[in-house]
Amino acid sequence: MRIHPECIPCIIKVRFREISQHISDRGEMLKAFSEILRIVAEYVEKDVPNPVIAMHAFRYVKEITGLDDPYSDYRRKANKYALKFLPYAREFIEKADDSYGRFRRACIVSCLGNLVDPGVAGYKFNPKQWSEMLEGSNFRLDDTKRAFELMHGKHILLLCDNSGEIVFDRLLVEILKENECSVTVAVRSGAFQNDALMADAIEAGLRKVADKIVETGSDAPGFIPWEVSRTFLKEIEDADFVLSKGMANYETIPEYFNYIRKPVLFVLVAKCRPIAYSLGVREGDLVAWLLE
């Protein structure tokens, strides 16, 4: 998915917020924002997917602030909050009548895990509220049945999205293992916003359930083939099926599908209008879309 005009102010606004949290001098801020605008303009002209532009702009944020991981405190808080909700999520999944129902519910849980967000000002979301939200949630676009049939007994590569959310990916892995799948979990090798890193996967308990946890070899969001390591490309090659979490993977994988060449289930919340429009759903809808 190539960048939409609406994505441009979104990228700039997020980078503005990050820089403002760490730089207070007016002159330094203006210089930093000028460079962000230059980076964004350069890659917009190249008509690349949004995550490519966001990646380059965020790398500059890390450079100008001197922070390798500007979201480190946020990620720890997100994991801590998510672990509190884990029993409620597990209970919701276990209410399903059969293995497919548990898989589908695990996908819903994994989607809604993105909403466990301690970074929001005045955050007071509690487990009871989240449990009630689970009961009322459904996929607007739902290819989970076909995906479940294709995945049974196969080797699955799970591409994780955010910290916090990764705690609920553990439940998804548990369900896949129940269905005779082997599961490799992939996380970033370096920080990009609040995306999950190896430390988050370990804190979430994925070592206890996944067959293997690997890194992409890059801090790049989504799947940008020239950024990831050859080792990670081999992990993709060895997988039978890719289970992809989050919008950045959805924005990039179809663009570079020639590197994948196997079924991909995209599980995400359509958080913005361009993503929702491209999928034929409404903003805020839950999506499970299968690309074969």
| Gap between the Cα atoms of 253 and 1, Å rounded | 8
225 SS3 class: coil
Tokens of 282: 């409404």
pLDDT in tens, the chain (292 residues): 788 888 899 899 999 999 999 999 999 999 999 999 999 999 999 999 999 999 999 999 999 999 999 999 989 988 998 898 899 899 999 999 999 999 999 999 998 887 765 544 444 556 666 677 788 889 999 999 999 999 999 999 999 999 999 999 999 999 999 999 999 999 999 999 999 999 999 999 999 999 999 999 999 999 999 999 999 999 999 999 999 999 999 999 999 999 999 999 999 999 888 999 999 999 889 999 999 9
67-to-18, 33, 193, 235, 242 alpha-carbon distances in Å: 11, 17, 12, 30, 32
| Gap between the Cα atoms of 90 and 94, Å rounded | 6
| Gap between the Cα atoms of 215 and 206, Å rounded | 13
Domains of the chain, by residue range, sit at: 6-65, 72-291
* 72-291 homologous superfamily: Uncharacterised protein PF01937, DUF89, domain 3 (3.40.50.10880)
Q: How many CB atoms lie within 10 A of CB 263?
A: 19
Torsion-angle region of 141 (φ positive above 0: left; ψ -120 to 50: alpha; else: beta): beta
pLDDT per residue over 42-52, tens digit each? Answer: 999 999 999 99
Tokens of 21: 């949290």
Single-letter code of the amino acid located at 200: D
Q: Pairing between strand 212-215 and 139-142?
A: unpaired
| Gap between the Cα atoms of 90 and 32, Å rounded | 45
Question: Over pLDDT 90: what percentage of the chain?
Answer: 80
Query: CA 1 from chain center: how many Å?
Result: 16
Predicted pLDDT of residue 125:
58
Top CATH class of 6-65 equals mainly alpha
